[in-house]
Chain A
């Protein structure tokens, strides 16, 4: 129970964040951060349970017929993620208070940030894969709102939409994949699926399921060729970039791969698809990072590269590779989160994010520089930092797979060293440069986060045993699918991995030293036909198709709409009726009484005169005759409710017509004779079809009549003697609910149309009421 409350608490607080933000002013960040801080403590307290392989669980039957349980499970992997989410979340919420100080929409920002945290915790802790999917989509939505936070800028809106469309279409694929998995495995519970590995791999649904799930994971985790949305997502305020687009959300795809690894792993498809895409992403991301000058985009490409390495390691699937992936996941969350926050502080204090304009800031921003320095050393993989341990593990894992793969991973390592230098060293050392704002130290709220994360990178590096028992071992066990004990060590002795690691540092430092010439050479080699170009073209094409078909279907002429609807409806219904043998002619059709026939003639006359009338009032009056005639028929056949409603509607229609006449030009006949003939034909067709349908329906009895049930049970079950009303408000209440909702929406539509029309002529906004 507490587990479910913990996951959903973010949404709860998000609801109140705008109000709190208005009340509390500048201290809001600190107070809101109490929730993620508390969650961090709570999740930490669950780790012994996970380590003992008795994870905390929660399960509530949601829609059991659909296999849908609202269930959570806090095993090692889930808790590692939950701790990253809530821990970094705490620091980011505090940081945002300083970074966006004075922003009028800060309350809304907090609301989406906290909602994101809730959604992400849901992804990490969900045990039911459908619940996981719901939270997965919620992270995409909150990411959309946060990237587009500065919605006045077109580039922010465009990037938000791009991220949303790419991850959203991946999400659709994921849903299909998860449904296939659930059907093939016979359960939608992750914990249940884990026992079905052999069944799933042998199932014919395995191939499509894996491909669809991978599409979801790859789009979310910005894998090549879907990587382009992540650098563009840097339009978001920096706390968002640090939190969503580096430490947590973009790892959701990696998380899902690690989660499903024990089930899906072990086939060539998995090895080559996951490993291959991961390797390609690592190299493409790293290469593109070389030519960036914007701090945040540089970090974003480095994140892409890291996500690629994580995917590669999970694709390899050996126990060493998975161990390396989990450790890299944690290490990257710490150092990259810190570096993003440092980049935000630099931007905030100097007014620029261009690395060619930043230099020599150490003396002015000592604390930020310290945090950036430590974090970048961890990223570069220098002992005794946590990043060093993770890099050694990655190299060791790669060495098992031969020299080519090792070269690949070492190349990834080189890119990390380069980026680490450009972000953590470049801006703070060397010659001081002129910046748009005169730089000084960032406020407490803004150096607390980076310094804490950097400090953790150092502490864990020196004392790796502190996390290996309670955090890393359970997580690796969950990713492998069997209990293993991981013992992290800083010093492994001088072996191949260590020599490669040192080599990486030296060559990487060389790359960094030669960064200016490298950038100037490589930036000439850019190509147009990348995936981003394809995205733009297909979006343009989609919009063009939408515009074209809107122009065709939405002509703006009411008669065209009526014509289309009536003609298509009549045609389809008529075709089915006559080709499928639904046509019947009841024998007792001529058994009518005198006054019934009289009423029918009256209705027909009314309808006929309405069509030939030369004035609007005449037409409305004739229609009224037809309408009242129908009401009388209802009355004759014992339906007083219907009759009364019909009378009222007829009267109301007259009132509406009278009001509308007031605005219409004088009646004139402008249509051609030919088009009037066409309309007559369609009207006859439609009327004839309706008559045939009604007559046929009288003679057909497909199912036992339900009306007797209603009549018998109206009083005992629904406490009412008027069956019609009981059906409306009780037996078929949900229909009525839908109808009144539609009615309300229609009224809003009419209202908007009328008011909008006014706005075009003269601006009368705000005048009503």
Chain B
């Protein structure tokens, strides 16, 4: 499936889609978006790359094993739930605070964001595990 159009498109779309996925992820708590959708968008460019250039190349660009992303994502979500436990509250209780970045207004930050990050990673890992495995099953 090596088509020049697909290859060129994939090359230009990859960074755009990745930026878009981060954008979707970050706005998710207040506007349409969130970890699940953002994860799917983030998986899309790698799926394109694997069709255009082969799974090996896509894996090389991704650099981490998709299966690792599943595990790390699950752990992140579980850990975000455990933070509430440390404060003596039930598992998964949201804990919120502010993060002060230099030169910016304080940003509200809480464990649900971490939880969503876990979802994000799991979704990327799951879709790419399956897509790469299918692509490799010749």
Contact = CB atoms under 8 A, between A and B. Distances in A.
Interface of A: 640-641, 644-645, 648-649, 651-652, 655-656, 658-660, 663, 717-722, 724-726, 728-730, 733-734, 736-737, 740-741, 743-744, 746-748, 750-751, 754-755, 757-758, 768-769
Contacts of B32: 640-641, 644, 722, 724
Nearest to B70: A744
A641 B34 contact: yes
Contact of B129 (A644, A663, A751, A757): A751
Contacts of A733: 81, 92, 112, 115
Contacts of A721: 29-31
A656 B135 CA distance: 9
B85 to A, nearest CB: 13
Contact of B92 (A725, A734, A746, A757): A734
Contacts of A641: 32-34, 37
A768 B51 CA distance: 17
B126 A747 contact: yes
Contacts of A741: 74
B116 A725 contact: yes
Interface in B83-109: 91-92, 94, 96, 108
Contacts of A663: 134, 137-138
A718 B94 contact: yes
B37 A748 contact: no
B133 A750 contact: yes
B44 A652 contact: yes
B70 A729 contact: no
A658 B73 contact: no
Contacts of A718: 94, 112
Contacts of B28: 722, 725
Contact of B34 (A652, A717, A728, A758): A728
Contact of A719 (B29, B65, B127, B129): B29
B34 A729 contact: yes
Interface in B32-58: 32-37, 40-41, 43-44, 47, 51
B126 A737 contact: no
B44 A651 contact: yes
Nearest to B29: A720
A728 B51 contact: no
Contacts of A645: 36-37, 40
18 contacts: A648-B37, A648-B41, A656-B130, A719-B96, A722-B30, A725-B33, A728-B36, A729-B29, A730-B94, A736-B115, A740-B122, A744-B73, A744-B74, A747-B67, A747-B125, A747-B129, A751-B130, A757-B137
Contacts of B113: 729
Contacts of A720: 29-30, 112
Contacts of A656: 130-131, 134
Given A660-B134, A724-B32, A747-B126, 20 more contacts: A645-B37, A645-B40, A652-B43, A652-B47, A655-B131, A656-B130, A658-B51, A659-B131, A659-B134, A722-B32, A725-B34, A726-B29, A728-B34, A729-B35, A737-B77, A740-B122, A740-B123, A747-B67, A747-B125, A750-B133
A645 B28 CA distance: 12
Contacts of B126: 743-744, 746-747
Contacts, number: 146
Contacts of B116: 725, 728-729
Contacts of A769: 59, 65
Contacts of A757: 137
Chain A CB count within 10 A is highest, among B28, B78, B108, for B28
A726 to B, nearest CB: 7
A659 B49 CA distance: 13
Chain A CB count within 10 A is highest, among B32, B123, B125, B131, for B32
A732 to B, nearest CB: 10
Contacts of A758: 137
The 5 closest A-B pairs by CB, nearest first: A720-B29, A747-B126, A640-B32, A648-B40, A721-B30
A567 to B, nearest CB: 28
A722 B33 CA distance: 9
A411 B65 CA distance: 67
A737 B43 CA distance: 20
A672 to B, nearest CB: 30
Nearest to A754: B133
A743 B130 contact: no
Contacts of A640: 32
Contacts of B66: 747
A30 B41 CA distance: 56
Nearest to A725: B34
Contacts of B41: 648
B15 interface: no
A399 B110 CA distance: 73
B130 to A, nearest CB: 5
A758 B134 CA distance: 11
A664 to B, nearest CB: 11
A736 B78 CA distance: 11
A717 B126 CA distance: 31
B112 A736 contact: no
A729 B112 contact: yes
Nearest to B130: A750
B60 to A, nearest CB: 10
A85 B49 CA distance: 60
A85 B95 CA distance: 44
Contacts of B67: 747-748, 751
Contacts of B125: 744, 747
Given A722-B31, A751-B67, A737 B59 contact: no
A655 B47 contact: yes
Contacts of A724: 32, 34
A718 B30 CA distance: 11
A743 B31 CA distance: 25
Contacts of B77: 736-737, 740
A743 B34 contact: no
B123 A743 contact: yes
Nearest to A746: B126
Chain A CB count within 10 A is highest, among B59, B113, B130, for B130
B29 A725 contact: yes
A640 B33 CA distance: 9
Nearest to B134: A659
A734 B115 CA distance: 10
B112 A740 contact: no
Nearest to A726: B29
Contacts of A660: 134
A659 B31 CA distance: 33
Contacts of B74: 740-741, 744
Contacts of B51: 655, 658-659
A743 B40 contact: no
Contacts of A755: 133
A729 B136 CA distance: 34
A644 B30 contact: no
B71 to A, nearest CB: 8
Nearest to B77: A737
A737 B30 contact: no
Nearest to B36: A645
A744 B126 CA distance: 6
Contacts of A744: 70-71, 73-74, 122, 125-126
A62 to B, nearest CB: 13
A652 B119 CA distance: 17
Contacts of A655: 44, 47, 51, 131
B61 to A, nearest CB: 13
B27 to A, nearest CB: 8
A101 B3 CA distance: 62
A298 to B, nearest CB: 49
A747 B108 CA distance: 34
